Amino acid sequence: MRLHALVADLETARLAVEGGATIVQWRLKDVPRVDVVERGRATRSLCARHGVPFIVNDDVEAALMLGADGVHLGRADAGAEQARDHGLMLGLSATTLAEARDADGRADYIGAGPVWATPSKADAAPPIGLGGLRELCAAVSTPVVAIGGIDPDNAADCIRAGAAGVAVIRSARAAAALVRALDAAL
Provide the annotated active-site residues: 27, 93, 121
Q: How many helices (H) and strands (E) does the chain have?
A: 8, 8
In angstroms, rounded to a whole number, what is the distance separating the alpha carbons of residues 66 and 79? 16
CB atoms within 10 A of CB 108: 17
* Mutual angle of helices 33-50 and 10-19, in 10-degree steps: 30
Give rounded-to-5 percent helix, strand, coil for the chain: 40, 20, 40
Please state, in angstroms and rounded to a whole number, the distance separating the CA atoms of residues 94 and 114. 9
Q: Which residues contact 50 (CB under 8 A, 6 or more apart)?
A: 17
Q: Are 108 and 90 in contact (CB under 8 A)?
A: yes
CA distance 181 to 173: 14
